[in-house]
Amino acid sequence: MMPSPYRRETLLQQLTATPTWDLIVIGGGATGLGVALDGLSRGYKTLLLEQVDFAKGTSSRSTKLVHGGVRYLAQGDIGLVREALYERGLLLQNAPHLCHNQAFIIPNYTWWGGPFYTIGLKLYDLLAGRLSLGKSTHLNRAETLRQLPTLHPAGLRGGVLYHDGQFDDARLAVNLAQTCIDHGGTALNYCPVRGLLKDAAGRVTGVRATDLETGLEYELKAKTVVNATGIFVDEIRQLDEPRARPLVQPSQGVHLVLDQAFLPGAAALMIPHTDDGRVLFAVPWLGRIVLGTTDTPVPTATLEPRAQEAEIDFLLRTAAQYLTRAPTRADVRSIFVGLRPLAASTAGSTKTKEISRSHKIVASASGLVTITGGKWTTYRRMGQDTIDRAIKLRQLPAAASRTAHLAIHGAASSTENTPGPAHLAAYGSDQPALLQLIADNLALGAKLDSAFEFLLAEVVWAARHELARTVEDVLARRVRLLFLDAAAALRAAPTVAALLAQELGHDAAWQAGQVATFGELARGYQLAS
* Distance in Å from the first CA to the final CA of the chain: 53
pLDDT of 336 above 80: yes
Burial 123-149 (b: 16+ CB within 10 A, else e): ebbebbeebbbeebebbeeeebbebbe
CATH, domain 250-340, list 3.40.720.10, 3.30.9.10, 2.30.110.10, 1.10.260.40: 3.30.9.10
Confidence class of residue 345 from pLDDT cuts 50, 70 and 90? low
pLDDT of 343 above 80: no
Q: What is the DSSP letter of 200?
A: T
Tell me what the mean pLDDT of segment 414-419 comes to. 62
- Where does 8-58+171-247+349-392 sit in CATH, by number? 3.50.50.60
Are residues 28 and 50 in contact, defined by beta-carbon separation less than 8 angstroms? Answer: yes
Class of the CATH-defined domain 422-523: mainly alpha
Per-residue confidence (pLDDT) for residue 374, from 0 to 100: 87
Q: Which residues contact 164 (CB under 8 A, 6 or more apart)?
A: 65, 66, 67, 68, 70, 88, 101, 102, 104, 133
Per-residue confidence (pLDDT) for residue 367, from 0 to 100: 97
129/87 Cα distance (integer angstroms):
12
Tell me what the mean pLDDT of segment 130-147 comes to. 95
Per-residue model confidence as pLDDT tens digits over 300-329? 999 999 999 999 999 999 999 999 999 999
| Closest to 406 (Cα-Cα) out of 132, 169, 95 | 95
Concatenated DSSP letters for 249-262?
A: EEEEEEEEEEEGGG
Q: Which percentage of the chain shows pLDDT scores above 70?
A: 95
504/13 Cα distance (integer angstroms):
17
207/218 Cα distance (integer angstroms):
8
Burial 291-326 (b: 16+ CB within 10 A, else e): bbbbbbebeebeeebebeeebbebbbebbeebbeee
Burial 58-69 (b: 16+ CB within 10 A, else e): bbbbbbbbbbbb
Per-residue model confidence as pLDDT tens digits over 65-115? 999 888 777 777 788 889 999 999 999 999 999 999 999 999 999 877 788
Confidence class of residue 357 from pLDDT cuts 50, 70 and 90? low
Per-residue model confidence as pLDDT tens digits over 199-225? 999 999 999 999 999 999 999 999 999
Q: What is the DSSP letter of 110?
A: S
Tell me what the mean pLDDT of segment 493-517 comes to. 98
Tell me what the mean pLDDT of segment 437-451 comes to. 97
pLDDT of 192 above 50: yes
Per-residue confidence (pLDDT) for residue 348, from 0 to 100: 44
Q: Which residues contact 7 (CB under 8 A, 6 or more apart)?
A: none
Confidence class of residue 415 from pLDDT cuts 50, 70 and 90? low
Amino acid at 215: G
Are residues 78 and 69 in contact, defined by beta-carbon separation less than 8 angstroms? Answer: no
Q: Which percentage of the chain shows pLDDT scores above 90?
A: 84
Q: What is the DSSP letter of 248?
A: E
Per-residue model confidence as pLDDT tens digits over 226-248? 999 999 999 999 999 999 999 99
As beta bridge partners, residue 184 has: none
Q: In the chain, what are the domain boundaries?
A: 8-58+171-247+349-392, 250-340, 422-523
pLDDT of 293 above 70: yes
82/377 Cα distance (integer angstroms):
12
Please report which helix (H) or strand (E) contains residue 371, including its range.
Answer: strand 369-373
Instruction: Reduce the DSSP state of residue 291 to 3 states and report it.
Output: strand
Tell me what the mean pLDDT of segment 177-190 comes to. 98
335/315 Cα distance (integer angstroms):
11
As beta bridge partners, residue 46 has: 23
Across the chain, mean pLDDT equals 93
Per-residue confidence (pLDDT) for residue 417, from 0 to 100: 61
Cα-based angle 50, 54, 57 (whole degrees, multiple of 5) = 90
Q: What is the DSSP letter of 223?
A: E
Confidence class of residue 286 from pLDDT cuts 50, 70 and 90? very high
pLDDT of 347 above 60: no
Per-residue confidence (pLDDT) for residue 77, from 0 to 100: 79
Burial 239-254 (b: 16+ CB within 10 A, else e): bbeeebeebbbbbbbb
Per-residue model confidence as pLDDT tens digits over 389-403? 999 999 999 999 999
Confidence class of residue 529 from pLDDT cuts 50, 70 and 90? low
Per-residue confidence (pLDDT) for residue 349, from 0 to 100: 44
Confidence class of residue 354 from pLDDT cuts 50, 70 and 90? very low
